[in-house]
Every structure is written in structure tokens, then in C-alpha cells.
Amino acid sequence: MKTSRSVLFLALLAASVSSPAQSPSTPPAARPASAAPAPGVSTSLLTHAFMTAINRHCGNAYAGRVLVDTPATPDSPFAGKPLVMHVRDCGDDEVRIPFHVGEDHSRTWVFRRVPAGLQLKHDHRHQDGNPDAVTMYGGDSSGGRLTNKGLIRIEFPVDAESIASFKANGLPASVANTWAVELSQDRFVYELSRPNGRLFRVEFDLANPVVPLPPPPWGTTP
């Protein structure tokens, strides 16, 4: 049983980093199209597949674009700004990816292995390096898929600690957040959704690293 699971995982992981994926120039759907899930893939295998694949991009930065931002808001902080993700700090158990929005270097995605699988947290800092009042929010993985088309998708419902922080800081809409990431050979997608119809998706082109690299995120030494 252990051997067959290992063979399955290695075959799927190879597909996840070598199979063709949707081009960033393809018009996006509001939500990702469903794909046939690989049978028998455990949370631990899904986590390992993601961490192995994202670490292949360590040190590189990639340009992004907003695919979906609904309902639209006229004061969106992402509108008209260059978007760059930087796979900056890497390891087997933790990967930190700053998300730069123009000259705003306050955001870092933190992916960690945890007993439940994979955890996503958002490290938010002020320009002086001090933590924002709302920071290190997110959740642990609760589902996802590693498909026969080379796509890794993992979903992260909001955790209790984050819900308490959102309530304490006057952000009631955020208590229903679910985040998700998608990773394939040539694209990375970050997603935020809520049951009320809120959907935000930003896609990064992993086929074309950008130079020069962005500056360190706020609160981090070079």
C-alpha cells in the first residue's frame, strides 16, 4: 500500500511541474474549472507536492495580474499597480512569499507545514517594520486536489484565531474568508472568497521571472 501511494504521488508531482497549464493570457473564468481529482491523495501528499513545487521557484520573482475582483470597488489597492510575488525565503517546512503591490511592501504570504497539512498566514507590516493591527491571519488546509492535469489546489478556511482578530478590529465580513492557492507548471494563483459572492483572484506568470528583484518586504532585513 505504501509503495503504490508513493508511485502515485511521484507520478502526480511530475505532472504538476511538467504538464502544460493555462496560459496567463487566457481569459479567466470566475472560478477555476473543475478537474478530475487524483484518487487516494492524502493531505500530507498534497502538502508535500505543493512545498516541493513552490521551492523550485526559490529566489525568483514573478509579475501578476488581477483575474477577478468582485464586487468591484473604486478604491481597490490593487487597481493599476504592478503586482509581484517573490519566492524569497524557502525551506522544507516554511516558505515566505512577499506580495508587492506597487510601492506597498507590507504583505507576505507564509506557508508552513502543520500536523493538519499546510497552513497559510498573512504577515502584514507597516513601513517601519512594526506589525499591523491585523496580521498573521489565515487558516489550515481543509481540502484541495492534485489533478491529472498538473494542477495543485489547496483551500484554507479562516481559523478561530483570525476570526477573533477580525472581530476585534471591526472587520466582520472577513470572518467568512476562505483563501486558496493554485500551482501548476507556469502559473500561481492566490484567491480569497466569501459566501456572499466576494471573489478575488490574482495570477502570476511563473514562466517569466522578473528582474530586478523587488526590495525586501517591510520588517525584513536584506
Task: Determine the average pLDDT of the residues in 1-8.
Answer: 41
62, pLDDT greater than 80: yes
How many alpha carbons fall within 13 Å on the CB side of residue 130? 3
Distance CA 214, CA 220 (A): 13
- Give CB contacts under 8 A, 24+ apart, made by 47-50: 47/113, 47/117, 47/118, 47/141, 47/154, 48/9, 48/13, 49/9, 49/12, 49/13, 49/16, 49/146, 49/152, 50/111, 50/118, 50/152, 50/154, 50/181, 50/183
Task: Determine the average pLDDT of the residues in 59-82.
Answer: 93
Task: Determine the average pLDDT of the residues in 28-52.
Answer: 68
Confidence band for 92, pLDDT divided at 50, 70 and 90 = very high
Q: What is the reported pLDDT for 13?
A: 47
pLDDT tens for residues 133-191?
Answer: 999 999 999 988 888 777 999 999 999 999 999 999 999 999 999 999 999 999 999 99
Q: What is the reported pLDDT for 29?
A: 43
Q: What is the reported pLDDT for 31?
A: 54
User: Bigger pLDDT: 105 or 1?
Assistant: 105
Kindly report which listed range (51-60, 72-81, 88-97, 198-207) carries the lowest average pLDDT score: 72-81
pLDDT tens for residues 13-36?
Answer: 444 433 333 333 334 445 554 444
Identify whether the C-beta of residue 191 lies closer than 8 Å to the C-beta of residue 182: yes
Task: Determine the average pLDDT of the residues in 75-96.
Answer: 95
Q: What is the reported pLDDT for 39?
A: 53
Domain residue spans of the chain: 2-209
